[in-house]
């Protein structure tokens, strides 16, 4: 810092981060923040780290990077049926960061924190010779004993997903450098839609209460539907029958698959959807769909939980298998 | 990962981290952990990130790195008067990590987690082309409204510190490459003592209850006594009179200062002590000292809070000022 006129850590916190802080952040001048769950509630804790060049492009807009870093954590809270209560940010800034970048970052963070009603309650900022790394730990509240686990799926339960699947992985290709042939063939509107879905995931917070009341198991789809379903079923010690034709696709994703049919596999297995994958009993799943619709989110049934170990996928009536289960950032 | 035979993220978690997990970690197979504060308690949240080459040496023993990463967070909890309840770990592993390194890291983490009764409840592991970065968010419980703030120091309060000051900064020089003249003049025992204090900070968890009951303000000394005292007083909108001759020094630190008197300033301003700096009212401070002693930790009075803006330091009866207030990692 000595060779520049950039402000020090404490000025940066006061200028850019204190305005995002909630009461539990204690003005970001203490060593700690406070969580005060209401009586009868528990705190759900989730952590996600994002690395520049791996989970986003280093030259993505700073506001978009901030948005994504918090959104992927809010997505986890939503999947657990939890109401956001706050988050802490650990920010490893690469050498050469500018105050303009940080101002843009803080503005994006403030916006998603406001949308999610999830104030900053603490954090740490360090400097790294490596790429930008953001690690967020987010907190949500659920009535005691009501967190929606990964492990609650029972044979006979209906398997559902929210929104549309595949936009994130297709959007990564539409947004990234080195445009592919199919991207060039897409309309500007569809290209933009997919890139925006990759850049600005929408955490399904509106679903949290419906999931908490009606779902037997849930997780967010961050590493691809096929791989994440395998994780949910493994945790639940169950299998599934999935009808791939029921997996909801956006108009843009359908156009992309029309341009290149091989992209269907990418849509099913690629990451970055941040939709909700969940299960509900035969008795509850219609109520879940209705409650989700009332919250403004479409939930679609794509299959059933079975007591077999395997997941059997069918597409147009024929069995289908996947070589690569899931996208792993690690 | 594709070019090696290293296990995947899920196997690593199961093998090395699941054994450190507490009940709130839900076996580390869910997307989230759970905190269940007892009725009438609140959750104190603290975050500290450590970067290889900045906060520790990349070739320090992996177990020592793990220990330090959690210890510095436990130190914050202790300063807030909180009892540890759990932590989440965000681990950005540099390319070229080995399973042996990770096994050693997990063993060190398990040990400090056990000592602090602070189980792992979640985390995320990512890969980075940059240096190793560890970010830990730790959780502690305090009776509602009883977190010890930075901002509670009142004029007339006594200022105290725990243990001994300066060992961390001196230990960095004793431990690091490029041995200085004074280090060579130290006994092997003193060199080892100081290096160990730098490598293996001892969080003052035993002080938490005494602080919670008797202290008006507290923080841990991580960036140097002089700079951290300035922060505490700024948060408390107060000043202080400090008698530097009262600042407790270890025998090793005294030997170092004997070898090179200029090191006294390093002891007072250098970082990495992880001792507790606190204030207590005239009425409470003796009870605080007695309670700390009962907990096995020495607390020594080094000055008084004043209502002036400034901190007046005296050494051997003469005023003393510091050019550089505090060591900043950022």
A150 is in an annotated binding site: yes
Query: Domain-by-domain residue ranges, chain A?
Result: 9-143, 158-320
Q: May I ask the CATH class of domain B9-143?
A: alpha beta
The CB density around residue B7, as the number of other CB atoms within 10 Å, is 15
Order of strands, sheet of B275-280, starting from the edge strand that comes earlier in the sequence: B217-221, B275-280, B158-162, B299-306, B239-243, B311-315, B318-320
Are B129 and A128 within 8 A, CB to CB? no
Higher-pLDDT residue of B317 and A161 is: A161
Residue B76 assigned ligand-binding role: yes
B44, B127, B133 ranked by CB distance to A330: nearest: B127
Percent of chain B with pLDDT over 70: 95
Strands, DSSP E only, in chain B? 33-35, 41-51, 83-94, 120-128, 133-143, 158-162, 217-221, 239-243, 275-280, 299-306, 311-315, 318-320
Using CA atoms, how far apart are residues A38 and B232, in angstroms rounded to an integer?
A: 30
| DSSP reduced 3-state for B55 | coil
Predicted pLDDT of residue A34: 86
Domain A9-143 identical in fold to domain A158-320: no
Find where tokens 């994130």 sit: A168
A270 near A224, Cβ under 8 Å?
yes
The minimal CB distance from A135 to the residues B30, B90, B330 is found for: B90
Record: contact B90-A126, CB cut-off 8 A: no
Give the CA angle between residues B252, B256, B258 to the nearest 5°.
115
| Nearest-by-CA chain B residue for A142 | B34
d(CA A220, nearest CA chain B) in Å:
8
Please give, rounded to a whole number of angstroms, the shortest distance from the CA of B284 to a CA of chain A: 22
Q: What pLDDT, on the 0 to 100 scale, is given for residue B4?
A: 44
CA atoms of A129 and A199, how far apart (whole Å): 25
Given a cut of 60, whether residue B130 has pLDDT beyond it is yes
Asked if A304 contacts A241 with a C-beta cutoff of 8 angstroms, the reply is yes
Per-residue pLDDT, averaged over B282-301, amounts to 98
Q: What's A158-320's CATH class? A: alpha beta
To the nearest whole number, what is the mean pLDDT of chain B? 91
CA distance to partner chain A, nearest, from residue B127 (Å): 6
User: Residue B60 annotated as binding?
Assistant: no
Kindly report the nearest CA distance between residue A293 and chain B, in angstroms. Answer: 25
Confidence at B226, pLDDT banded by 50, 70, 90: very high
pLDDT at A2: 36
Confidence of residue B324 (pLDDT cuts 50, 70, 90): low
Q: In a structure prediction context, what are the per-residue pLDDT tens digits for chain A, which is 330 residues long?
A: 333 456 677 788 888 888 888 777 776 777 788 888 888 999 999 999 999 999 999 999 999 999 999 999 999 999 999 999 999 999 999 998 999 999 999 999 999 999 999 999 999 999 999 999 999 999 999 999 999 999 999 999 999 999 999 999 999 999 988 778 899 999 999 999 999 999 999 999 999 999 999 999 999 999 999 999 999 999 999 999 999 999 999 999 999 999 999 999 999 999 999 999 999 999 999 999 999 999 999 999 999 999 987 899 999 989 998 875 444 444
- Least Cα distance to B137 among A207, A211, A227, A32 occurs for A32
Residues from chain B that touch A121, judged by Cβ atoms under 8 A, are 45
Mean pLDDT of B177-206: 92
Task: For residue A128, list chain B residues with Cβ-Cβ distance below 8 A.
Answer: 51, 54, 130-131, 133
């Amino acid at each position: 810092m000595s060779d520049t006129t950039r402000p020090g850590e404490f000025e940066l916190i006061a200028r850019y981060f204190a305005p995002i802080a909630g009461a539990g952040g204690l003005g970001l001048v203490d060593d700690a923040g406070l969580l005060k769950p209401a009586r009868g509630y528990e705190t759900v804790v989730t952590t996600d780290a994002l690395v520049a060049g791996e989970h986003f492009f280093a030259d993505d807009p700073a506001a978009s990077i901030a948005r994504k870093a918090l959104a992927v954590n809010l997505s986890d809270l939503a999947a657990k049926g939890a109401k956001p209560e706050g988050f802490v940010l650990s920010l490893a800034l690469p050498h050469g960061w500018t105050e303009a970048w940080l101002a843009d970052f803080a503005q994006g963070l403030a916006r998603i924190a406001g949308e999610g009603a999830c104030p900053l309650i603490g954090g740490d900022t360090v400097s790294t010779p490596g790429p930008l790394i953001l690690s967020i730990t987010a907190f949500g509240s659920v009535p005691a004993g009501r967190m929606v686990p990964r492990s609650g799926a029972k044979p006979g339960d209906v398997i559902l997903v929210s929104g549309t699947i595949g936009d994130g992985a297709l959007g990564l290709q539409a947004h990234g450098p080195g445009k592919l042939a199919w991207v060039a063939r897409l309309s500007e509107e569809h290209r933009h839609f997919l890139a925006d879905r990759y850049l600005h995931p929408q955490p399904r917070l509106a679903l949290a209460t419906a999931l908490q009341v009606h779902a037997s198991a849930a997780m967010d789809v961050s590493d691809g539907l096929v791989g994440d379903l395998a994780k949910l079923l493994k945790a639940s010690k169950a299998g599934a029958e999935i009808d791939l034709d029921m997996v909801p696709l956006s108009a843009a994703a359908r156009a992309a698959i029309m341009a290149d049919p091989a992209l269907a596999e990418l849509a099913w297995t690629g990451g970055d959807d941040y939709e909700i994958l969940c299960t509900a009993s035969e008795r509850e799943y219609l109520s879940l769909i209705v409650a989700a619709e009332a919250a403004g989110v479409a939930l679609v049934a794509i299959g059933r939980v079975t007591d077999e170990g395997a997941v059997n996928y069918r597409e147009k009536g024929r069995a289908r298998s996947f070589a690569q289960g899931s996208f792993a950032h690690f």
